[in-house]
Amino acid sequence: MEPHIEIDPEQVERWLAEFATFGTHGETGVWRTAYTPEWVAAADRYAEWCTDSELAVRRDAVGNVWGRLEGRDGGKAIVSGSHIDTVTPGGRYDGALGAVGALIAVAALGRQFGPPRRPLEAVALCEEESSRFPANFWGSRAIIGGIGPDDPETIIGHDGTSIADAMREIGLDPTRCSEAARNDIGAFVELHIEQGPILEHAGFGVGIVSGITAIRGILVELIGEQNHAGAFPMDLRTDPMAGFAEIASAVIDTADRLGRPAVTTVGRVMVEPNVATVIPRRVRFTIDARHPDPEVCRALCETQDALMRDIAARRKLDILLQVTSEHAACLSNLGILEKLREGAATEGVPVMELSSGAAHDTQQIAKIAPIAMIFVRSENGRSHTQEEFSSLEDMVSGIKVLAAGLHRLAY
């Protein structure tokens, strides 16, 4: 029988509350984008907490903050962490829970069990949300050596600042990003809020993530003929809005019919000229389709593409499809999943397994190490909003499962 891991709920509550003060927005929101003063304050505090917890602190070339417990046998490190930036505004838990939770878990293990066999690390990743720069997974991409030499100067933020300038402003050298790359990570486990309603609907506080979904994002352009809304009979129109409406219904239906965990979202629409009394000339829109099984995801996308092309051809509309994002599915490591299951059982935390429909830093790290994730229940499935909420009890349970898993991996 493994010993219980001692996690102090009061510390979890206190640290997450303090972390939320770095970029407080409204009552319960947080607005903390990469390399801003709020972000610097959060990273500094994370480093202090590492020191207070007797972990060796290191900041890498892009500003990820690492707290390390050295391993008796050396070897590759067992790592946990998440991002400390937010959407604008976001809530208090997305990212923060996984960064702070990893530190609390690693510190608790060191305190309770002494030095681990293998190195154990907690990490606060600098950027994941793309909320200041169009550069998502900046922190985790740096760790896998995925940042190109020109990226810092050429990636321009929504405020016009390059990522290189933003780094220099806080004392980081953008020419050294490649130095953040690591080849000594033996396993990576990320704790994160679910951001969906599946755990809540099933009545679980914690979930073990079997894999992260494959995603294909496309931008579709439908071109018809702009004409007067009154003077043009229906039978002579080539109306891209009518085509868009039919296509949006059809692609959403494909995911509806396929059932969980397939999803398809039309989130963005741009109409030209977008005037009430004018039949539009052009409608552009996005389709985001996801499924954790790569084959099913591919089939879903092919069905959607065929439907779109048929509808456009029948309506005599020109259609252009452009793939704007493509993320391969990322399966969790079966060995790590087994250790998380065992840990949850020992800690007395009931868990269910589910897949992640959202993208996470973990899928970057998956390119260099075996991975898994743990989800904590989100109230009403909400995230990326100030209303985002997870209960302290669920968060502590999630940290316990994480710590129990890390214990099995590192000791």
Among 80, 346, 356, 364, which residue interacts with a second copy (rule: CB under 8 A)? 356
Decide: is 226 part of the binding site for a second copy (CB under 8 A).
Answer: yes
Asked whether 392 and 17 are in contact (CB, 8 A), the reply is no
Which part of the chain contacts a second copy (CB under 8 A), choosing from 33-41, 74-82, 299-307, 356-364?
356-364
Show the binding pattern over residues 135-174: x = contacts a second copy (CB under 8 A), - = does not.
----------------------------------------
Q: How far apart are CA 351 and CA 349, in angstroms?
A: 6
Decide: is 26 part of the binding site for a second copy (CB under 8 A).
Answer: no
Q: Which is nearer to a second copy, 278 or 328 (CB)?
A: 278
Q: Which of residues 177-206 bind a second copy (CB under 8 A)?
A: 194-198, 201
Q: Any idea what DSSP says for residue 361? A: T
Shortest distance, position 239 Cβ to a second copy, whole Å:
7
Which residues, in sequence order, are CB contacts of 147 under 8 Å at separation 6+? 62, 138, 141, 177, 178, 180
Q: For the chain, what's the residue count?
A: 411
Q: How far apart are CA 183 and CA 13, in angstroms?
A: 34
Shortest distance, position 249 Cβ to a second copy, whole Å:
4
Which part of the chain contacts a second copy (CB under 8 A), choosing from 16-24, 78-86, 144-152, 224-232?
224-232
**Can you say how many angstroms the Cα of residue 3 is from the centroid of all Cα atoms in its chain?**
32
Among 161, 227, 303, 333, which residue interacts with a second copy (rule: CB under 8 A)? 227
Asked whether 207 and 198 are in contact (CB, 8 A), the reply is yes
Q: Given its phi and psi angles, is residue 384 left (phi above 0), alpha (psi -120 to 50 degrees) or beta?
A: left
Which part of the chain contacts a second copy (CB under 8 A), choosing from 25-33, 73-81, 211-219, 390-398?
211-219
List interacting residues with a second copy (CB under 8 A).
194-198, 201, 213, 215, 217, 226-236, 239, 241-242, 244-249, 252, 255-256, 259-269, 271, 274-280, 286, 288, 290, 324, 356-359, 381-385
